[in-house]
Structure 1
Amino acid sequence: MTYFGIGVSTAVTAVPDTLELAVRADRGGLDLITVSDHPYHADRLDAYAELGVLLGKTERISGLVSVTNLPTRPASMLARTVTSLSALTGGRIVLGMGVGGLWDDIARLGFTKLTPGQAVRAFEEGIQLVKMLGGGGDPVTFDGEFYQVTDLAPAAVAMPPVWTGSVGPKSLSVTGRVADGWMPGHAADWLSERYRTSRPLIDKAAVDAGRDPAEVATVYNFPGRITAEPLARTRTDDGRWIGGSPDQWIEELTGAVLEHAAAGFVLFGPGGSTPDAVATARLAEEIVPAVREAVG
């Protein structure tokens, strides 16, 4: 499956527009709606509270926190949250997980600052533990460096796929060992230097762990304009995607799937802004059907 979605605002002041945009995306047949997770900002909505409401307002589209700020959401409780949302929505959720980065902000919430090495080890433990806490089975006992649970029954609901936002070499290796998908950081795409240097680390770690690297999908946050008319150039001098007409988007995304094994795209506006209703409609009504047809 190739995923197509949009990223929406978490701003408290944008709530009416966000709710309307989510419904538009759902009715338009898109696959994903994503929100970011920055709980230390008072003017931002809690990511999982927002996602729960968005999924309640929609019928078919899946939700993703891109990506969960793991240091502020202990893995065992995160597992309960995600399996609960899956049960409530008929499985319409993907679990995004991140190492955490804004440690001064995280500390202001009352959580312990970790060193980079500790954060990556906690990240790997967190993914392992949440995967153990879905799908039923025997009670789980986990005695890790950062997470401990004792005789904890897994939820009967299956754990959804886990996608990461890994950036550094060590966290990329974690993604290869234990995750199901990767969303390259800084909106890097398949032509970027970041992708060319990062994806091999995931693939090597997957192979070393006895996995097929193809088990780790790559889904891109992809900002750009969708214009009525073609643009003279669709990328900047340094290779960043600018955007273009629906036909130019169709050509670009089709090539990404067929030539670079892209598994999905989440649309943002220029500079990472929330796409407007016109862009969302063009994506859903013109671009996605054509790409789906082209890639089979």
Structure 2
Amino acid sequence: MALFGFGGGAAVADAADTLRHAARADADGLDLFSLSDHPYFGDRLDAYAAIGTILGGTRRLTGLVNVTNLPSRPAPMLARTVTSLSTLTGGRIVLGLGVGGLWDDIARLGVPKLTPGAAVRAFAEAITLIRSLSGGGEPVTFSGEFYQVTELQPAAVAAPPIWTGSVGPKSLAVTGRLADGWIPGHAADWLSERYRTSRPLVDEAAVAAGRSPADIATIYNLPGTITDAPVRSPRDADGRWRGGSVDQWVEELTGAVLDHGAAGFIYHPVGDPDMALARWAQEIVPAVRAAL
């Protein structure tokens, strides 16, 4: 069954609206609520503090930091954060994880700046370590290139599903080897050139690691307008989905699941977020679920 989520605002100034949107999404039966993670900007909420607050005030939503800025959140502590959230919420957390992109901004936090290749190696090492520090078992000693822990007791609960925001070939290969899901970068969708050239790299790495490509779900960040009347061209000149009427959305998303294997969608509103959330959760999502 496909998952349907909503991308909330992460600005400090919008905090009350974000909590209200999460409550509305929960009441309307959405599956996911996501926030971005940019801790180097002073006008943004800390993503995990916000997600924890949201999950504490909702009953069925799963939280997703979309995606976690790994360089600013060391893997051993991130493992503690997500397993604690899983324990407190009955498993309503997914770990979204990225290599880290805005390195000049990240470095202002006092984090050493990594080369692209080193950042990908740290990314792979972090996924491995987070899984090792979850699910109980004997104390873990890990001596990696970027992370070292000694006799550290794993959390009793399993690590949540790990979805990556991989973009480059090397990080896509890590996704295929180690992740549970992939969120294509730059809001690329199932008909985009980025998806067509990137997903095979995920699949090839999965097969090489002895996994099935089906083990790695694809979940899409999906911005767009929801219009009253059908639009002539719901995609732009580059083929990117830009929105349309409720019926056009329903047809597009149903086809994405049935014809292209989409596992989920996180809608990012264009325009009035209150109106967009209402139409997404109350009109589009129920119709797509019924069609599936």
Q: Which amino acid aligns with 1:116?
A: P
**2:51 pairs with 1:51:** yes
Where in structure 2 are the equivalents of 1:237-276 lying within 5 Å? 237-270=237-270, 276=273
Indicate the residue corresponding to 1:219 in structure 2. Answer: 219
1:97 alignment counterpart: 97
Compute the displacement of 1:204 (Å): 0.2
Q: 1:200 — aligned with what?
A: 200
The Cα offsets for residues 197-229 of structure 1, whole Å up to 9 and x where unpaired, read as 000000000000000010000000000011122
Shift of 1:263: 0.4
Q: For 1:104, give the aligned amino acid.
A: D
TM-score (normalised: structure 1): 0.97
SS at match of 1:157: coil
Q: Which residue of 1 aligns with 2:284?
A: 287
Range with greater deviation from structure 2 (101-110 or 281-290) = 281-290
Q: Is there any run of 5+ residues in structure 1 with no aligned partner, and where? A: none
What secondary structure, in the 3-state scheme, does the structure 2 residue paired with 1:224 have? Answer: strand
Answer yes or no: is 1:5 the counterpart of 2:5.
Answer: yes
Residue equivalent to 1:135 = 135
Matched to 1:22, the amino acid is A
Q: Structure 2 length normalisation: TM-score?
A: 0.98
The answer for the alignment partner of 1:156 in structure 2 is: 156
The reply to whether residue 84 of structure 1 matches residue 81 of structure 2 is: no
Aligned counterparts of 1:280 and 1:107: Cα–Cα separation in 2: 35
* Alignment partners' CA distance in 1, 2:120 and 2:54: 30
Matches within 5 A, 1:117-136: 117-136=117-136
SS at match of 1:244: strand
Q: How does 1:223-234 map to 2 (within 5 A)?
A: 223-234=223-234
Q: Say which SS state the counterpart of residue 289 (structure 2) adopts.
A: helix
Distance 2:2 2:134 in 1: 24
Q: In the TM superposition, what is the alpha-carbon distance from 1:39 to its structure 2 partner?
A: 0.4
CA shift, 1:269, in A, is 2.0
- Deviations 1:60-101, CA, capped at 9 Å, x for gaps: 100000110001100000000001111111111000000011
> Match of 1:16, SS?
helix
TM-fit CA distance, 1:276? 1.0
Give me the CA root mean square deviation.
Answer: 1.0
User: 2:173 is matched with which residue?
Assistant: 173
Whole-angstrom CA distance in 2 between matches of 1:4 and 1:128 = 28
Partner secondary structure for residue 259 of structure 1: helix
Give the percent of matched residue pairs that are identical in Structure 1 and Structure 2. 70
Counterpart Cα distance in 2 of 1:53 and 1:74: 21
Structure 2: segments with no counterpart, 5+ residues: none
Residue 235 of structure 1 corresponds to which residue in structure 2? 235
Give the secondary structure class of the aligned counterpart of 2:105.
Answer: helix
Which deviates more from structure 2 when the two are superposed, residues 206-215 or residues 228-237? 228-237
**Counterparts of 1:131 and 1:192, CA distance in 2:** 32
Aligned AA (1:97): L
1:139 and 1:205 mapped to 2: Cα distance? 30
CA deviation profile, 1:29-74 (whole Å, cap 9, x unmatched): 0000000111000011111011111111111100000110001100
Secondary structure of the 2:254 match is: helix
Distance in 1 between residues matched to 2:133 and 2:290, nearest whole Å: 37
Task: Give every structure 1 segment of 4 or more consecutive aligned residues whose post-TM-superposition deviation is greater than 2 Å.
Answer: none
2:130 and 2:178 mapped to 1: Cα distance? 11
Q: Name whichever of 259-268 and 149-158 sits farther off.
A: 149-158
